[in-house]
Amino acid sequence: MAGQAFDGPLEPAGECRYRIPKSYKPGMRVDGLIYADEQLIEKIRADNAPEQVANVATLPGIQKASLAMPDIHWGYGFPIGGVAATDPAEGGVVSPGGVGYDINCGVRMVRSDLTLADVAPRIEQIVTTIFQTVPCGVGVGGREALATSEMRRLLREGAAYVVRRGRGWDEDLEYTEARGCLDGADPDAVSKRAQERGKKQVGSLGAGNHFLEVQVVDKVFDPKTAEAFGVAEGAVTFMIHCGSRGFGHQVCDDSLKTMRGAARKYGFDLPDQQLCCAPVESDEGRRYLGAMRAAANYAWANRQAVMVLVREAVGRVFGKPAERLGLRLVYDVAHNIAKIETHTVDGRQRPLCVHRKGATRAFPAGHPEVPEAYRGVGQPVLIPGDMGRYSFLLVGLPAAMDETFGSVCHGAGRAMSRTQARRTVRGEQVRSDLAAKGIVAISRSWKGLAEEYSGAYKDVARVVDVVERAGLARRVCRLRPLGVVKG
């Protein structure tokens, strides 16, 4: 359980790699493998998240290893920062705990032609206008409610549904993972309760760790790749972090009830009932995937709609349309999802069900799913940090495909629970501390600011350093926050 230290083996297994041998506990089918340095592994051990890495290694059909990124911390069933791929042909399973409640929570980065000199004098106006334009906060909905027929179309079409309604540009889809839509979404697998919750929340940010940030590129590490991505030192960017809102939460909650029964039905002996699962090819597995894909499409539609509102807000501040300001999408990537992808295992290409929970896809140069404009360099990898320090733009490397099913970290990773954070600092103090650093912060609640202060997170620079030293991804540039909006 969380709160107690892991007392099992963590064997050094190469540069920034630690192994939990499958001999550690009965039922492990593969080793566990955690990416971390000496400092991070001690924090990871104290959180007991390695126990969850070992538990995931017991899932039927799991391939290679149960993997964890350096931002790993305790989660529901799977650790947050966990990656696992199962082979349907070998009875491989899909587990809602391997995706989480906020299905397709993800990050979207928008570049601009604006510079720090353009934005600095207006940063408070920009942040305030975004806050007034983008609905945010607990339970806050979007600008309009969808009819049932529209909701079903959105669940099938994802971000394209929003673009076809004139909210965005066709090129936005090209620069979105999976073009913002997973095939096989099944609205009939989604409960009426979930659909009712979702109808009113498209185009809203939510709360918790979700945010909108105005950032400046303050350091470029890889000029060639930065140029391919359309960013340069001193340029202003916008980062959007949100997911499927109450819709995805309800889909997960509904699915867990079914999956608990499925685990018993198929006779799975699991060390933790939160790992409840079903074979990918079973009725229960197909139904979950149909509902999860619908929620993933909802999240892509939501981020598309939020991005359009950000473009509108920034355009109003500068009195110019988004096109003239160069507000173009760099990329949108999911980090809570299960996808059927083709990967090489034992020298043979196989379709696998890849669970990424708090982990980001990081495909290398040449991969056919990387947008054509980026195919010569690789997929953009967006790694947000905390609102008081910095975020990073990376690019995927071939080693990620070889070792981690094309996956890396998704952020800094929590070092302190939300309750601990609130006990440590007050929201008013967080806002004052950010202002002292020149960062304008606006939130719906002081509680939300306190929960997300910098001290509650690991240093994302150290997390990113680990994935780079491990050869999974390469830093392209660092992004420093200028202003932040939170629910």
Q: Which residues are catalytic?
A: 410
Between CA 454 and CA 127 the distance in angstroms is 19
Q: 236 and 116 in contact (C-beta within 8 Å)? A: yes
- Which tokens is 433 given? 């501390």
Distance in angstroms (rounded) separating the CA atoms of residues 348 and 177: 25
Report residue 385 as tokens: 């940090």
Burial of residue 303 (CB within 10 Å: 0-12, 13-18, 19+) is buried
Cα separation, 127 vs 213, in Å, equals: 8
What is each CA distance from 312 to 133, 154, 291, 317, 392, in whole angstroms?
A: 8, 22, 32, 9, 25
Backbone angles phi, psi at 306, to 5 degrees: -65, -40
Which residue is it, tokens 């110019």?
320
Nearest-angstrom CA–CA distance, 377 and 228: 8
Distances in Å between the Cα of 336 and the Cα atoms of 151, 277, 331 are 22, 16, 16
